Structure formats: C-alpha cells, structure tokens
Chains A and B, each alone.
Chain A
Amino acid sequence: MGLLAVGLFSACEDVEVLQPHAAVSVEGDQYVYEINETMEVHFTGQAENVVIYTGDTDHDYELRSQSNYGLVVNKGLFTYSYQTPGSYKVVCVATNHGDAGSIIKTDTCSFMVRVIDDDTTIERLSAPQVFYDEVFADALNDTDWLLPLPRKILFNGADRPVSLDQRLKFYINSSSTVVLINGEEFSSTDKYDLANVLDITVRSYEGTERPYKLYTVNYGEFETFEMLGVAGTITRSEFDYSYYEINLEVPAGSDLSAVAPTFTLYENTKVYVDDAEQVSGTTTHDFTQPVTYRFVASHPDNPDITTESTCVVTVTVAAE
C-alpha cells in the first residue's frame, strides 16, 4: 500500500511539461490594415494555451504587469481589428502548464502591423441648422457639392429670411480625418459664409488630401410678379423649398386668354414655361388654367451648377 502511494506521488512529480513553440502566420502575409479591417492570425506552433497581445490600448504586451491583457486564441484562429491608426507590435504568447500550474513554460513570437487611415471621402454634407431643418447638399461629381437653399422659409405661418451664414455638418466615416475650409480647420459651431464658394480640403490621418468645393445656390423665384395691374405674392410650401404658388385675383371682366405678366428675377436666374424662356412683359400665356413656371438658378462662378424650382400661378377673375 505504502509503495503504491509512493508510486502515485512519484508519478505526479514526473509530469513532463513540453516546451511550447510560438509561431503564427498572418492571412495573406498582410501586415498593413485599414481601420476596422479584420486581421486574421493563424497559430501554427505547439502549445496548450495561446494568447495574443494586439499592441493597442489594454492589449500592450509591454504593459502586461499593468492590467493589459492578451486575447485568447480559439482553435488556432484569431481575428481582430484596430480602431485607431498607428503601428502596433503584436505578441503571441504560447504556454504549457505543468501540474496544478506549478510549472509554466512559455514561448513568444511577435510581428509588427501598421494600421492606416486614408479616408478622405465625404459621405454626406449638410447645413444642419437652417432654422430647425437639416438641409443636405448634393454631390455633383467627385469634387463639387451643391447646397440648394431657399431665400425664405415658411415657418409658424411667417416667411423668414434664410441667412447665407450657416453651420455645416460633414458625414465622414473616420474620426481621424481632418476637414479644412479655406485653409482653416473646420469647426461644427462656426458659421461659414456660403455666398462664396468654399474650398474644402479633407486630410486623412495618413496625410493624403482631397479637395472639394461647396457651391451654394438659392432656389430661383420671382422677386416681383404683376399682371393686369395686380401684384402677386408668393405662397411658400413648408415642406418643399423648391415649390411656390402665386394666387391672384384680377378685376372683373379681365381677359385671361393671352396675358404677359411683368416680373423681376434675382441675379443668375432664368425662368421657363416648358422649355421656352420667359421675358417679362412680353411672353404671353392663357391664364384661364394655372401656369407652371420653372426657374433655373445658377452659381455666379460656375453657370453649369444649377438648381431648379417651380411656381404655379393661378388666376381668378373677381365676380362682377
């Protein structure tokens, strides 16, 4: 009996802990990643337990005595992604344990990865506080954006003028990307004078820059409108800034079959009915039916950049 006990104990003491071997391969031999791109690491060594220190916040091998920790590798496959650009030392720790953890043998290997952030794309761009509204700009091509703004907004029953000094909001996927406006760093609380073309530069963390231009064009509308001696007033839509109506009542007995209204337009605006350009006091229409005017307003610096709006003029004749 005594011999058996001795045998058992000696068996415990004889447990041999093999020296682990730390080795990894990186999928596709890729050592440069974009933000949030998945890094796939395969453990190719021999060990009972494997952890990987990814080298970023909380997972720095050098700071392992200061609560930084490695992430466990399951079945030899480890996936991870970095959220901040930079260079990171990835350390793989392979461990074999002896009986009750009294013997621990480890082996480590490491490699460097570089995480780049080269994002210079503006996803969306808006003026976020046009009164209470967020008005989005349209991307015209790779560089030019157009922000169409109304001259006035109908809000709470009154027409309120819209200033061209507006805040801007950029929707960019990377938080490391910097936006410069006319050479100065963009601030979400500053107001920018949209009467001028804004030169926007988007600079990525890696330093690559991409230029954009923001053009602002007011929707076209009649500055004044008059026919048969009666002045028309624009009625705006609260929901659609590019749509107006003018409702006129002309004196009894007026003939509406061929009337040439007189009107004035803001600069850089043309007005059409169908495709025919309208001339104040000259072009006639049959106003017994509503007439739809189409405005094309263009940017003074670039006539190709235009925005369209419509106005429906409805005329009634006063009763005798």
Chain B
Amino acid sequence: MMKQIFKIQVLCVLLFAFVGCEGFLDREVTGYPLEENFFYTKYQLQTALNATYDVLQSDAFNDSEWRFGEALADDVIGTDEGLGSEMGQLVHFRFTNSNTYIKNRWDVNYKGIHRANQVIANAHKVELTSDAYTEYQTVREILGQAKFLRALFYFNLARTFGGVPIRPEVESVDSLVIPRSTLEETYAYIEKDLREAACMLEPRYTKTDAGKASSGAAVALLMRALMYQATPSVNSEKWEQVVELGRFFVDGEPMTMRQMLKWDERYNEDWDSFKERLWFRDGGSYTYTLDSELRVLQGMYTFNCKDAYGMDICYLDQWYQDGEFCSGSIFEVVFKESGDGTDGDTNEGGYIYDDLFSKDNCRMYADDQIITKIFGNDARKQATIGHHATTPDLQNTEIGAGRIFSLKWYTPVKDKPTFGGDNAKNRRYLRYVDVVLMYAEALNECGQGAEALAQLNSYKSVINTTSIDGRTPNTSSELYKAGGYGYVRDQIWEERHMEFAFEWERFWDIVRQGRAAEVLKEYSNMRPNKRGSYFRAGVNEIFPIPQTEIDVSNGVIEQNPGY
C-alpha cells in the first residue's frame, strides 16, 4: 500500500512537473533584452552602436587588416612566408579557397555589418523623452555613425572580394542565403550610406566626443570608395566626384544636401520621409531642406600636427598618444584601456603592437633596400629604425640584425602603460593628408595637373619644415615638379607610398593603381623566396569567396573568376 501511495505521489510530481514545463516554456522572457524589446531608448541604441565600434577594436579585425593591407605588398618581409603555413600561402598568392585568413576577413567584416544593421534597422523604435532638437540630433548621429561603419565594412569586403551579398537589415531564417550583388551595386550601397552619414554627422568630434566617426570621416571614406571605382588614365565620373568632394573638403566650396546625396538622380523618396527616416528635425536655427548647405569641413582638419590642445607636435607624435585625435587625424580605431593589466583582452590593440613591434616575435619587418626604395632621401625615413638603433626617446631596441621597423607602431616610453598588456594606442585609420592626396590625384586625372601639383606641394611644403622626431629640424625645400599627366601622377603615388608607409594601405593602393603585378614582380626579384612572383594579373586583385560560403549556399553565392 505504501508502495502504491509512493508511486501515485511520484506520478503526480512528474505530471505537475510537465505541466510546469509547458507554462515555463510559453512564458515571455523578462529581464533579458531581446532584439524586439531592446531599442526603446537612445541609450540602448548607443549601446548597440558601441558594439559595432567594438568590431573595429577587435584583434580579429586588425589582424586581417595588416595581413592583407601590408603583408601582401612590397614594403615588408614577413616572418611567416613558408608555403607550409596558410599565411605563407596567402602572401605567395598560392592559397586555396579555404584559406583561414580569407575566411576570417569575410567573417569579421560581416560581423561588423550585422551589428551596424542592428542599429540602423531598430533606430525607428527609439522613443524620445522630449521633442527637443538635441534629442533628435543624438539619435541621428548614432544612426549616422552606424551607416559610416557599415560602409567601412562593406568597402573592406568590396576591395577584397568584389561584389558581395548585401545582407538585409533585418535578418530572417527564411532567407539566410543572399546572392552576391555586383561590384557596382555594392559600391552604390556604400556610397549611399556615406553620403547620408556626411549629412547626418558633425564635421569633427573633439573632447569627450573624440573618436566618433564625423562627417569628415564619411567624406574621406567616400572619396576613397569613389577612387577605388575609378581607373588611372581612364576618364570617369568617379574621378570628377572625388574632385567635387575635394573642393568641398579642402577648398571650402559650399555643398548642399542635394549635391552630397546626388538626390535628383538617386532618390525616389519624399523629402519629409527622408528626414523622418534619418531623424532630421527642424528646430532652433536648423531648417533642413535639400538646398541646405552642409557644415563646412575646410579648416576642421589640418596638415600641421596639433594635439587636442592645439599645441604643435612632431611628425612621429601623430602616431602616439599626443597625436590621438589631433587635427591631422580624421578617424581612428580607438583601443580601450582597461588600465588593470588584464591579459588576453581582445580590444586593447596590444596584440597588434606587440606583434608588429616586438623584439622576439615580430610578424613583419623591412630592410635597407626596401626603406631606400620607399623614402629615398626623404626625412620621413627617420620614422623607421634599425637594429640596435636608438628610438627618438633614446630607447635601445633589440629587433634583430638588418631588420627595420616602423616607428608608427612603436610605443614610446612616455606612453608606456603601467601594465604590460595595456597598450591603448589608437590606430590611425583616415588622415587629412590622404584627403588632399586623393583630391590631387583626382584633379590630375581630370586634366587639372597644375591644381593637382599645388595640392601635392601644399603638403610637401609643410613636411619640409616639420621635425620628424621632435629633435632634428627638417629644413628641406624640395618640392614636387611640374610635368605632364604621368609625371604628376607618379609623384603623387610616390608621396602616398612615403606618407602612408606601413599603415596597411599599400597592397590596396597598388591594386587600385592597376600595377600590383608589376610592383610585386619587381619585389619578387629582390627576394630569395620570390614572394609575389605568383601574383596573377586579372585574378589576384580580388580574393576567392571563402569555400564554406559557396558550400553552405549550395552554389547560390558564385565564386570569383579564376578561383
């Protein structure tokens, strides 16, 4: 009898347990944010934006940046160039479609896109506590930054893979496989985001807002995206558009929202709904019309390196803490400083700086031949150091015989953190000199060589009198010379090579200039391992879509030609 009672009790407990389970499963989750109920305040939207910036800070993102932008090109010698490793295969252009680094690059940029899409798709849910102009402005600027970041990630993909799938802003399990868009469509999408961001953001953020993507950053990236769509010595409206933006950014010519957005040819949208979608609210002294002029960018950014307090700094300090958010810097990847020596952080940039400037285990270095090829006799050559050479702050370095490093990745004593793991030095992503050199190149392409040379020399004359290391005065008076199209173009490319040396843009630059095969062939002849000789013109300018993407989409995503 007792046994029977016990059995009945157990049965009852089990029965209730099952009933309880059903109720539990059906119950709405509370106290835990979901995509549907998260974006009600501007603070929550800001949190989602921070998560997007977080991708830029990640080791995965920056790792991919140097592997492709620098290690593939002709300015460095890698320490991992054996064909037995996937990195070696990558830099020799003898990789398979399943190469890990190609896959990582795809993944990390789509991760950024996904996070930016969360902000963009959910911004309309935000409820404001008042109708004040500044409330709208806050949301508009969050949205604008998300658009800038999404464009940055798509641009990275476009120049790596060509046309890529444009993910829907709201993902659905019913349509996970999205076919590739054409390269033109992908760039049109990037341009739209950047043109809108250029209207939505402040010209430059300083003080507590420093680090936010500004309209200066949006215009600079837009110029870069346009330039990548154009071919040197071939007439194109893209070159003309770079000139148009250069006149606005550098020369201070006015530009209306209609001009920036290319409203008449690209939009089929009511102006009021556009304003509502992007949180433009008239108020105070602001009334937004299509003919409203954009906030002036001229003068916001300068060549003269001045720190956040307006004090002059030397050339090299641009890359150190003194130069963070200086007037020459338009956009930086801001690394977070935990300040507690936490090891293993993935967003402090420590990994990159340790890897690129470490005495024991560096990833890349240059030698005398390479440095001479880049700089000739230019004073900026001092921005590099050699074995046992002394850094500007009189530190000895043990970087190996014959090896030369860029001081752009060095952490000077004054910036050295209390704890070893906290490097906290920002990566410079877009600089004002880039805007001016892009403008100069586009002017030359549009048959305005004299103006192009004037822009090029406007920077050279500043560099001529800027001390590189803060100790040695620079008193050069050499300027670039007048000449025909090809001569001016070559001088602009030479200046780009010097000025942006070791900033992870070299590979993309030589591909864009249509001479990657030529440059890499020349480089391969200098190297015993002939790295670069396998570069196939017409194929290796872009990389294969990762094989897994082809596989999981059952072939809906098509491979690039030649792979």
Contacts and interface: CB of A to CB of B under 8 A. Distances in A.
Contact of A38 (B483, B488, B547, B561): B561
A231 to B, nearest CB: 26
Nearest to A37: B561
B483 A155 contact: yes
Contacts of A241: 484
A133 B561 contact: no
Contact of A136 (B233, B483, B559): B233
Nearest to B486: A134
A156 B481 contact: yes
Contacts of A128: 486
A241 B96 CA distance: 48
A239 interface: yes
Contact of A36 (B485, B487, B559, B561): B561
A168 to B, nearest CB: 14
Contact of A239 (B484, B550, B562): B484
A240 interface: yes
B449 A239 contact: yes
A89 B559 CA distance: 23
Place the interface of chain B in its size category. Answer: 20 to 34
Contact of B484 (A72, A156, A175, A238): A238
B519 to A, nearest CB: 15
Contact of A74 (B448, B484, B551, B561): B551
A141 B96 CA distance: 41
Interface string B481-518: 11111111110000000000000000000000000000
Interface in A65-101: 71-72, 74-75, 77, 79-81, 83
Given A239-B453, A240-B447, A38 B486 contact: no
Contacts of B487: 131-134
A134 B490 contact: yes
Interface string B533-563: 0001111000000010011000100010111
Nearest to A77: B555
Contacts of B486: 126, 128, 132-136
Tell me which of A72, A79, A80 has the highest count of chain B C-beta atoms within 10 A of its own C-beta.
A79
Given A239-B450, A240-B447, A135 B484 contact: yes
A134 B536 CA distance: 24
B97 interface: yes
Interface string B437-453: 00000000001111001
Nearest to A35: B538
Interface string B447-477: 1111001000000000000000000000000
A153 interface: yes
B483 A239 contact: yes
B98 interface: yes
B447 A38 contact: no
A64 interface: no
A239 B490 contact: no
Nearest to B484: A133
A37 B539 CA distance: 10
A134 B232 CA distance: 12
Contacts of B488: 239
Contacts of A80: 563
B537 A173 contact: yes
Interface residues of A, number: 33
B478 to A, nearest CB: 13
Contacts of B450: 237-239
Contacts of A156: 481
Nearest to A81: B562
Given A74-B547, A124-B233, A173-B538, A81 B563 contact: yes
A312 interface: no
A291 interface: no
Interface string A99-135: 0000000000000000000000000101010111111
Given A239-B488, A240-B449, A133 B483 contact: yes
A72 B561 CA distance: 19
Contacts of A81: 539, 561-563
Contacts of B538: 36, 173
B561 A238 contact: no
Contacts of A239: 448-450, 453, 482-485, 488
Contacts of B539: 36, 81, 83
Given A74-B551, A240-B449, A83 B559 contact: no
Interface string A33-46: 00011100000000
A130 B484 contact: yes
B246 to A, nearest CB: 17
Interface of B: 96-98, 233, 447-450, 453, 481-490, 536-539, 547, 550-551, 555, 559, 561-563
Interface of A: 36-38, 71-72, 74-75, 77, 79-81, 83, 124, 126, 128, 130-136, 153-156, 173, 175, 237-241
Given A128-B486, A131-B487, 20 more contacts: A36-B536, A36-B562, A38-B562, A72-B96, A74-B98, A77-B550, A130-B484, A132-B483, A132-B487, A132-B490, A133-B483, A134-B487, A153-B483, A155-B482, A156-B481, A237-B450, A238-B482, A238-B483, A238-B484, A241-B484
Q: Which 8 A-B pairs have the closest CB atoms?
A: A239-B449, A134-B486, A238-B482, A133-B484, A36-B562, A133-B487, A133-B486, A81-B562
26 contacts: A37-B562, A38-B562, A74-B98, A77-B550, A79-B97, A81-B539, A81-B562, A83-B536, A83-B539, A124-B233, A132-B486, A132-B490, A133-B483, A133-B485, A133-B486, A134-B487, A135-B485, A135-B486, A153-B484, A155-B483, A175-B537, A238-B450, A238-B482, A239-B448, A239-B482, A239-B488
